[in-house]
Amino acid sequence: MAAVKELLRAENDGSLSFGDYTLSEKTKKDNYEFEGDIYKVKTFSEITKLERNGMFVYESVPGSAVEGFKETDSEVAFSVSAKGDVQFTLELEPECEYEVFIDGESAGKMRTNLSGKLSVSVELSEGQEATMRVVKC
């Protein structure tokens, strides 16, 4: 998967794509309107962060490229790529259980903490992508 050179874009299927882990300096795009919400992305080689209406949505360390990010009340789905292994954090419903799927395989069930954060680590090699699904149990 290539980095998202626009930094943040809407896809024809109603999803978002964002992030460019190839950048050496922090770059941002804000005030991006999508489906009635305002999005902001900050991205570069060390971190990628997405906010919606000023609230945390996604963060990865190191930086990543995300394609097809779609969120419903019960599921978050997207593809992620990075230069190597990546850890991402999602803001979900507090103190709920979710099942995490990586490339269609269950990685197990996890609970969000009191603030609704769920962190997942994915082993990647440069240029490789992983398809993620996080489903509320």
The second-level CATH assignment, the architecture, of 8-136 is Sandwich (2.60)
Q: Where residue 58 falls among pLDDT bands split at 50, 70, 90? A: very high
Domain boundary assignment for the chain:
8-136
pLDDT digits (tens, 9 = 90+) for 97-106: 999 999 999 9
Does the pLDDT at position 7 exceed 60?
A: yes
- CA pair distance 57, 18, nearest whole angstrom: 12
Using alpha carbons, select from 82, 88, 84 the residue that is nearest to residue 107. 88
Query: pLDDT-based confidence at 1, cuts 50/70/90?
Result: low
- Give residue 127's pLDDT: 75
pLDDT band at 2 (very low <50, low <70, confident <90, very high): low
Q: What is residue 53's predicted lDDT score, i.e. its pLDDT?
A: 98
Task: Give all strands of the β-sheet with 27-34 in edge-to-edge order.
Answer: 27-34, 37-44, 47-52, 55-61, 86-91, 117-122
Q: Is the pLDDT of residue 137 over 70?
A: yes
